[in-house]
Amino acid sequence: MTGFMDFYTPGSTFLHRMDPRVKILAVVLLSLLAFILSQLLYLLVLFAFIFLLLYLARVSFGKAVFALKFLFRFMALVVVLWPLFDPVGTPVLFELGILKVTLPAIERGVAAALRIGCLATVWYILMFTTQQRDLVHALVRMGLRFDFGLALAIALRFIPTFSYTIEAIKDAQRARGMELEKGGLLRRSRNYVAVLLPAIVSAIRTADTLSLTLQSRAYGARRDRTYLRELRMRRSDFVALSVAVALFVLPAVAKYILAVTI
Amino acid sequence: MKDGQPEQRNDRLAKPAGFVSPKTVAIYGVLIALTAAVTYSSAAPFSPTKGYFNLGDSMVFFSALAFGWRAGAICGGVGSALADILLGFGVFAPVTLTAKGVEGLVAGGIGTRKYGRVFPIVLAAVAGVFVLVVTSILMYDSGLLDADEPMPLIVVLIPLLAIIVAAAVYLVFSRGSERVRTWTPIALGVALGGTCMITIYFLGEWLLLDVGLGKAILEIPINIAQAVIGGTIGSFLSHRVKKYYPSLSRGM
């Protein structure tokens, strides 16, 4: 299975330049909005809006296709499976034995699929337009403990390294005659232990070196640590923040206070 | 905690002010990365549900059993969620974070504790009550037992069976060999952790992601396979690594 280690696509669109904290907040608000909306039409509008953002982010086509390929298949599956297991309401479109497909069920399936689509896409936009270190930095600035932020940053840095290590160990074991692609699930899993054990030992050695490195660079010597790159909110960031808040608050007020069906 | 206490500065593994020790940060970071990398490179697509089978659970259980519940929860949860995102299954990431996090937490919490004399008693009691409840339900269901007029034989038989099972469990785990006593908590932790993971995935996919009941049910067998295989490999790995790297989990 192939994928990308980092979804970030370099660019200079307004989404790239936005403060990562604002981006995270906006993404959270848009995700909550997807849960508030229940009418098909409004979900469709939100979906279109999010895809407009994706277009404006000027993401590399390959990465976008890879990230969303599974999503579309998943959405299709939800649309197909939903009516089969939730035959509610009328009118009944057709009946086949115990299978009963109704119009409301199809509508609900499409709505559920759209909601999932909104949720996933909006988070991938964040990942496409923000560098991983900026994401971690923003999370630390938003209240994540610095040491856990550091652990997360280390993890993101080492995922590609360990993937290559595992591939190298696999090749080494294949050279010794181990067949990793042969046999059933059980046998393959058992053979995989011969890959996992060296990988763990190698990872733990890395951790030892890392902890020495952290100490030699005076990790945690002072609580009031400073940062090389400071995050600063600009005027455009405040505009973006207010737009995102308005996008969430207005429908929420309409639904929960004015009791409008949306 | 106050800044810069001299006796802490001199100790190489001392906790710096307010933060966890550098060793913990390094180990957590590396374990998160390793969990994600193992999930990533062992992922095999599973076409019926458009999900994927992977050996990431073995790393979740390894983290939990070798480094305790906190490492299991954080490294298992975050690492698996990151792998989901990188593989293009970002929709599942929040559910994965909770499911694998709880799996690591439960497995580590139960599997790594040192149990004294009370443990076999608790285990025996749990087994007894389990037998009592299950057999009663089965009896009522099959119509052997009537709620209005309980048959004396069965009323005596069920508690007797429960007591025998409880006594057997107690004897096996209090008089059992060293191997039985080491592996029972681990097996229990893995089983309960796996059950939590499967339940959370099912509920999360059904209720939170709204994928429909059908797909959520289809996912259960693949999750069971993952938990069983991952649990076996993970507990084996943690046993081996702890044996040859005894200094590993110290100074965290």
Q: What is the pLDDT of residues A168-179, one digit of tens each?
A: 999 999 999 888
- Its domain, for residue A154, covers 145-216
Smallest CA-to-CA distance from B24 within A220, A5, A157 is with A220
Question: Tell me, what's the pLDDT at B10?
Answer: 46
Cis peptide before A91 (omega within 30 of 0): yes
Q: Are residues A25 and A113 in the same domain?
A: yes
Question: Tell me, what's the pLDDT at B62?
Answer: 92
Q: What's the CA gap between B249 and B243, in Å, rounded?
A: 11
- Shortest alpha-carbon distance between residue B223 and chain A (Å): 13
Residue A262 belongs to some domain of the structure: no
Diameter over CA atoms, chain A: 72
Residue A261 belongs to some domain of the structure: no
Residue A223 belongs to some domain of the structure: no
Q: Are residues A113 and A166 in the same domain?
A: no
Q: Are residues A116 and A9 in the same domain?
A: yes
Q: Are residues A19 and A107 in the same domain?
A: yes
Q: Higher-confidence residue: B16 or B41?
A: B41
Q: What is the DSSP string of chain B?
A: --S--HHHHHSTTPPPTTS--HHHHHHHHHHHHHHHHHHHHH-EEEGGGTEEE-SHHHHHHHHHHHH-HHHHHHHHHHHHHHHHHHTT-GGGHHHHHHHHHHHHHHHHHHHSSPP-SHHHHHHHHHHHHHHHHHHHHHHHHHTSS-SSS--HHHHHHHHHHHHHHHHHHHHHHHHS-HHHHHHHHHHHHHHHHHHHHHHHHHHIIIIIS---HHHHHHHHHHHHHHHHHHHHHHHHHHHHHHHH-TTTTTT-
At B73, the pLDDT band (50, 70, 90 cuts) reads very high
How many CA atoms within 13 Å lie on the side-chain side of B35?
37
Question: Tell me, what's the pLDDT at B97?
Answer: 92
Q: Which two tokens stand for residue B101?
A: 């996090």
- B34/A1 touch (CB, cutoff 8 Å), yes or no: no
**pLDDT tens for each residue of A60-100:** 888 888 878 878 888 887 788 777 766 666 666 666 666 67
Distances, alpha carbon A220 to alpha carbons A230, B1, B6, B17, in Å: 19, 12, 14, 6
Nearest residue on chain B to A214, judged by CA atoms? B22
Q: Higher-confidence residue: B200 or A258?
A: B200
Residue A225 belongs to some domain of the structure: no
At B144, the pLDDT band (50, 70, 90 cuts) reads low
Q: Which of A90-104, A212-226, A237-251 has the highest mean pLDDT?
A: A237-251
Angle at B75 between CA B74 and CA B81, to 5 degrees: 90
ipTM reported for the complex, 2 dp = 0.81
Q: Higher-confidence residue: B15 or B221?
A: B221
β-bridge pairing B51-53 and B44-46: antiparallel
Residue A224 belongs to some domain of the structure: no
Q: List all residues of chain B from 134 to 163 with a beta carbon under 8 Å from chain A.
A: none
Distances, alpha carbon A53 to alpha carbons A20, A70, A241, B27, B69, in Å: 15, 20, 15, 38, 40
Question: Tell me, what's the pLDDT at A171?
Answer: 92
- Once rounded to an integer, what is the mean pLDDT over residues B132-151? 68
- B159, B139 contact by CB (below 8 A): no
Q: List all residues of chain B from 83 to 112 with a beta carbon under 8 Å from chain A.
A: 85-91, 93
Residue A68 belongs to some domain of the structure: yes
Question: Tell me, what's the pLDDT at A89?
Answer: 66
Choose among B3, B87, B215: nearest Cβ to A81: B215
* DSSP SS3 for A93: strand
Is the dihedral angle over the CA atoms A46, A52, A53, A55 positive or is it negative?
A: positive
Smallest CA-to-CA distance from A71 within A51, A52, A42, A87 is with A51
Residue A220 contacts B, CB cutoff 8 Å: yes
* DSSP SS3 for A95: strand
At B79, the pLDDT band (50, 70, 90 cuts) reads very high
Question: Tell me, what's the pLDDT at A98?
Answer: 65
Choose among A3, A85, A147: nearest Cβ to B40: A3
- Once rounded to an integer, what is the mean pLDDT over residues A216-224? 77
Q: What's the CA gap between B217 and A85, in Å, rounded?
A: 11
Residue A35 belongs to some domain of the structure: yes
Smallest CA-to-CA distance from B64 within B173, B203, B174, B196 is with B196
Q: How many CB pairs under 8 A join A and B?
A: 215
Q: Are residues A159 and A31 in the same domain?
A: no
Nearest residue on chain B to A150, judged by CA atoms? B25
Q: Are residues A13 and A108 in the same domain?
A: yes
Q: Higher-confidence residue: B227 or B90?
A: B227
Choose among B28, B34, B90: nearest Cβ to A151: B28
Question: Tell me, what's the pLDDT at B63?
Answer: 92
- A203/B22 touch (CB, cutoff 8 Å), yes or no: no
- A199/B38 touch (CB, cutoff 8 Å), yes or no: yes
Q: Which two tokens stand for residue A204?
A: 């733990």
Smallest CA-to-CA distance from A6 within A167, A229, A166, A159 is with A159
* pLDDT greater than 70 at residue B109: yes
Choose among A120, A211, A223: nearest Cβ to B18: A223
**pLDDT tens for each residue of B162-179:** 888 888 877 777 777 777
Q: Are residues A9 and A64 in the same domain?
A: yes
Least confidently predicted of A27-31, B67-71, B207-211: B207-211
* pLDDT greater than 90 at residue B34: yes
Residue B211 contacts A, CB cutoff 8 Å: yes
Question: Tell me, what's the pLDDT at B143?
Answer: 63
- B2, B17 contact by CB (below 8 A): yes
pLDDT above 70 coverage of chain A, percent? 92
Smallest CA-to-CA distance from B98 within B185, B169, B202 is with B202
What are the chain A neighbours of B213 within 8 Å (beta carbons)?
85-86
- Once rounded to an integer, what is the mean pLDDT over residues A182-198? 82
The distance of Cα A21 from the centroid of its chain, to the nearest Å, equals 16
Q: Are residues A115 and A20 in the same domain?
A: yes
What are the chain B neighbours of A214 within 8 Å (beta carbons)?
22, 25-26
Q: Are residues A124 and A175 in the same domain?
A: no
* pLDDT greater than 70 at residue B4: no
- Once rounded to an integer, what is the mean pLDDT over residues B14-34? 80
Q: Are residues A152 and A84 in the same domain?
A: no
Distances, alpha carbon A142 to alpha carbons A23, A25, B19, B67, B78, in Å: 12, 10, 17, 28, 18
- Once rounded to an integer, what is the mean pLDDT over residues B37-62? 78
* DSSP SS3 for A102: strand
Q: What's the CA gap between B143 and A49, in Å, rounded?
A: 59
Task: Indicate the average pLDDT of chain A.
Answer: 84
* pLDDT greater than 70 at residue B119: yes
Question: Tell me, what's the pLDDT at B49?
Answer: 55
- Shortest alpha-carbon distance between residue B139 and chain A (Å): 32
Number of domains in chain A: 2
Q: List all residues of chain B from 6 to 25 with a beta carbon under 8 Å from chain A.
A: 12, 16-25
Choose among A69, A155, A161: nearest Cβ to B82: A155
- A192/B211 touch (CB, cutoff 8 Å), yes or no: no
pLDDT above 90 coverage of chain A, percent? 11
Residue A227 belongs to some domain of the structure: no
Q: Are residues A12 and A118 in the same domain?
A: yes
Q: Are residues A122 and A195 in the same domain?
A: no
- Shortest alpha-carbon distance between residue B64 and chain A (Å): 14
Q: Which of A101-105, B89-93, B236-240 has the highest mean pLDDT?
A: B236-240
Distances, alpha carbon A51 to alpha carbons A40, A48, A64, A124, A244, in Å: 16, 5, 11, 11, 16
